[in-house]
Chain A
Amino acid sequence: MKIGFNQINKHFGEVHANVDINFNIQSGMIYGILGENGAGKSTLMKILSGFIQPDSGEIVLDGRVVEIESPADAIKFGIGMLHQDPLDFPPMQVIDNFIAGQEGGLLLKHKGIIREFKALQEQFGFTLDPEAYVDTLTVGERQQLEILRLLWLGARVLILDEPTTGISVQQKEKLFAALRVLAQQEKTVVFVSHKLEDVEVLCDKVAVLRNGCLVGEVESPFDTDQLVELMFGKLIILKDPESVSGDEIVFELQNLYIEQYPITIENVNFRLHAGEVIGLAGMEGSGQDVLLRACAGLQRPVSGRVIVNGEDLTGKNYHEFIRKGVGFLPASRLEEGLVPGLTLAEHFTVTSDEKQKLFIDKTYFRSLSEQMIDEYRIIGRPDTPVESLSGGNQQRAALSLLKDSLSIILLEHPTRGLDMESSIYMWDKLRERCKRGTSIFFISADLDEVLRYSDRILVFFSGRVSKPQDSAAIDLDQLGLMIGGKGWEQEIANEETYEAISNA
């Protein structure tokens, strides 16, 4: 189906989210919508999928002007959208999720539909169990389910909003393969992303948005510099940061043994130096999150010791760890990192070391939060509730809440959902802290990020932890192999010598 955007405008209060947007998308292609956080990509796609209506302008499908009033309306026009957080029903079975919303008939006829489901997923090489419960699936699998569901409902246009956030490399490849099949079937795929590398390998053509305006359309093959310049209005040069790691040991793990079903981590010995950055790499659920939580006092080790600044904190709770200068920033921002319902200023009030008296000094915290908003480039005001910030801004807010006095910062996916410029900025802020002696442990699914910012890397594979790898001595391919469980024989041979060294 051919899609036309004709003079689309949309305001949210003061913000002009889409400004006079004009362009066409041909069918049978994978079309990228590229832009940094807050460029107006999601707004435009929500208009196309019927979630919101434009203030002015029209959507043209195959030459016909249409009014799309709701997402259910959109699917009748053949437009289906995959949301960043899958809109599915976690406690239900895959097949019930698949059926819910299908019109016609009163009774659920599982048998026939399971057959259709299997036939459909075969086309794309998906292997979902129709009787599995959705809350046991990974985000990538839930996306696959949504894709199948929308196609089954007759979608000829598939919109994907940041689909590669939070899924594994393997699942990304599976997803891309499926999208290519769809394009071959003359369907239209609209791929919304802020990730250049994804857009470059996948898309036939991209539209770049900046500050709500369409700033250019580029066809494959792409020139990275050109895309970056369109996205940010300037060229960004990536430099590898200098290491500021010192000699002083601030944190130590001794013979750590952790059990968190189904992961068991044995015999971890590790010493962290002041100012050092350690990347934890591995497929999701390989144990890196468990280890990080043990370092924060959120997971009690079965045996072994956790020593912070020379003091044994094994078995102490998170509160004690914070008091001793260990801060933890979890991946699930709204569940664990921030308090939904509280404003930015209230967050600073709660977490600040200053002015902790009975009554709240509103002016002080208002100006403090204004200062932090400025410093961390959060798009929001002191009285904005955190849940109404965009994902990237929630992340910035969460990072800004980490106290300056922390000597060790533990981060889970610190730049997930941030565009390139924002993540560079974020890391600049973190490295500044390192210069002042703060050490960092971080988990990331982005191997480039792990390689670029870490001094040393710990690789995880189903509960096994590698010895620390010097990031200068390992390349992307080696790291990728280790994450996939290859090249560990060498590791075992080294283990004994390593233990000998670390025990020395």
Chain B
Amino acid sequence: MTGDVILLGLAGVIASGAPIVLAAIGETLTERAGVINLSLNGLIILSAMAGFWVAIETDSILLGYLAGALVGALVSAIVAFSSITLKQSQVAVGFILTITCRDLAYLLGNPIMGRQGPIMLSTPIPLLRDIPILGPLLFQQSLMTYFSIILIFVTWFWISKTKPGLMLQGIGEKPAAAFVRGANVSMMRYLYTILGGALVGLAGPLYTLSVKPGWKGTITGLDGIGWIALAITIFGGWNPIRVAFGAYLFAFLQWLGLVLQSSWTFIPSQVLQVAPFPLMILTLLLVNLGNTEWMERLLATLPDGVRNRVKKLIRSLRSQPPAALGTPFERQ
């Protein structure tokens, strides 16, 4: 394989990772506020169908994306209403919604099955596109891919560097403490659930209009992506940078599977297709080693200065879910 081919492949990883990044970052925002939106998987499929349809009818890719985001926001509003206002189980509601949305997409999508639609082309950025290696890798992508990359950093900055972001963390951690600090817990949870859902809703059309163009009903191949995004949210410790890393890692492993399939013919192709999943679990284990007792004992044997530095490193890697995740908040 030549360098150019590898570079092209890696650029493809960035592009095919983009919808997973959008979905996982959206879910990260929602979960940081303490709400689990389990409808992700169905929501991506439904918004993929809806976005594609609107794009065909209007011949506008932009409207296609807007339709996807709108579907995402609406479905998430149902999750928000039932969990925040009606205080119902977020797991049950999300689960039913995920199945409903998926089947609804297959049902309603029949008329547009196999139709030709607009495809989003890449928009190379002048000057930057000519930088060696980085140019072809990052700056010859589609607008949505650029957006997904910018989103990672904006979300990270919002959560960890701004006051509203700090309060967002607080709402997911201990809503009662956020409440005494003046936060409107319910309203914030609505906001982040709907905003997160809208971002997830962008992931769908990004598939049907760019990454895997077209709508082919049940064989569109989007079933499962939502669950992966949910898992990556957890793997990433609810931290946008790490979440994005997880999404790209997954896309990379998938690409690797495809590449190796042609050269390592002695391995059944199914093994390579499934391999990314256990590899993701392994990564999670490695990242969370610091929580174990034997690790603490091992650390105790180190000299003070080194120990503190290692501890800080482990601490920064540690991922704890927002403590109030999935629980309703009542004022008294």
Co-assembled chains A and B = yes
Segment at the A interface, from B176-184, B189-197, B245-253, B273-281: B176-184
Closest to A76 in B: B182
A-B contacts at CB below 8 angstroms, number = 69
Segment at the B interface, from A33-41, A88-96, A307-315: A88-96
Q: Determine which of B163, B170, B174, B180 lies in contact with A106 in the assembled complex, contact meaning CB atoms within 8 Å.
A: B163
Pair A108/B293 contact, Cβ less than 8 Å: no
A71 to chain B, nearest CB (A): 4
Pair B163/A87 contact, Cβ less than 8 Å: no
B282-322 contact mask (Cβ, 8 Å, vs A): 1 or 0: 00000000000100110010000000000000010000100
Q: Which residues of B contact A101 (CB under 8 A)?
A: 167, 178, 180-183
Give the distance in Å from the alpha carbon of A446 to the alpha carbon of B166 in the complex: 38
B239 close to chain A: CB less than 8 A: no
B212 close to chain A: CB less than 8 A: no
Pair A89/B177 contact, Cβ less than 8 Å: yes
A2 to chain B, nearest CB (A): 24
Pair A107/B181 contact, Cβ less than 8 Å: no
Q: Determine which of A51, A72, A90, A107 lies in contact with B161 in the assembled complex, contact meaning CB atoms within 8 Å.
A: A107
B173 close to chain A: CB less than 8 A: yes
A503 close to chain B: CB less than 8 A: no
Pair B300/A87 contact, Cβ less than 8 Å: no
Pair A107/B162 contact, Cβ less than 8 Å: yes
Report which residue of B173, B178, B180 has the largest number of chain A beta carbons within 10 angstroms of its beta carbon.
Answer: B180
A424 close to chain B: CB less than 8 A: no
A336 close to chain B: CB less than 8 A: no
A479 to chain B, nearest CB (A): 31
Query: Which label, helix, strand, loop or mixed, suits the secondary structure of the A interface?
Result: loop
A216-259 contact mask (Cβ, 8 Å, vs B): 1 or 0: 00000000000000000000000000000000000000000000
Q: Which residues of B contact A197 (CB under 8 A)?
A: none
A476 close to chain B: CB less than 8 A: no
A103 close to chain B: CB less than 8 A: yes
B221 close to chain A: CB less than 8 A: no
Q: Determine which of B162, B174, B176, B300 lies in contact with A108 in the assembled complex, contact meaning CB atoms within 8 Å.
A: B162
B265 close to chain A: CB less than 8 A: no
Interface residues in A61-107 by Cβ distance below 8 A to B read 70-72, 75, 81, 87-92, 96, 99-103, 105-107
Pair A88/B174 contact, Cβ less than 8 Å: yes
Q: Determine which of A52, A89, A96, A103 lies in contact with B182 in the assembled complex, contact meaning CB atoms within 8 Å.
A: A103
Q: Which residues of B contact A96 (CB under 8 A)?
A: 166
Interface size on A, as a range, is 20 to 34
Pair B166/A108 contact, Cβ less than 8 Å: yes
Give the distance in Å from the alpha carbon of A105 to the alpha carbon of B183 in the complex: 15
Give the distance in Å from the alpha carbon of A87 to the alpha carbon of B182 in the complex: 13
Give the distance in Å from the alpha carbon of A344 to the alpha carbon of B148 in the complex: 52
Q: Which residues of A contact B182 (CB under 8 A)?
A: 70-72, 75, 101, 103
A359 close to chain B: CB less than 8 A: no
B332 close to chain A: CB less than 8 A: yes
A248-277 contact mask (Cβ, 8 Å, vs B): 1 or 0: 000000000000011000000000000000
A133 close to chain B: CB less than 8 A: yes
Pair A262/B166 contact, Cβ less than 8 Å: no
Give the distance in Å from the alpha carbon of A334 to the alpha carbon of B121 in the complex: 58
Pair B179/A71 contact, Cβ less than 8 Å: yes
Give the distance in Å from the alpha carbon of A493 to the alpha carbon of B162 in the complex: 59
Q: Which residues of B contact A87 (CB under 8 A)?
A: 174, 176-177, 180
Interface residues in A110-140 by Cβ distance below 8 A to B read 133
Q: State the 3 A-B residue pairs at the shortest beta-carbon distance, nearest first.
A: A101-B181, A72-B182, A71-B180
- Sample of 10 further A-B pairs with CB below 8 A, known A99-B166, A107-B163, A108-B162: A87-B177, A92-B166, A92-B169, A100-B170, A101-B178, A102-B163, A103-B182, A106-B163, A108-B163, A261-B297
Residues of A within 8 A of B (CB): 51-52, 70-72, 75, 81, 87-92, 96, 99-103, 105-108, 133, 261-262
Q: List 27 A-B contacts (CB under 8 A).
A: A52-B332, A70-B182, A72-B180, A72-B181, A87-B180, A88-B174, A89-B173, A89-B174, A90-B174, A91-B320, A99-B163, A99-B166, A100-B166, A100-B167, A101-B167, A101-B178, A101-B180, A101-B183, A103-B182, A106-B162, A107-B161, A107-B162, A107-B163, A108-B161, A261-B293, A261-B297, A262-B300
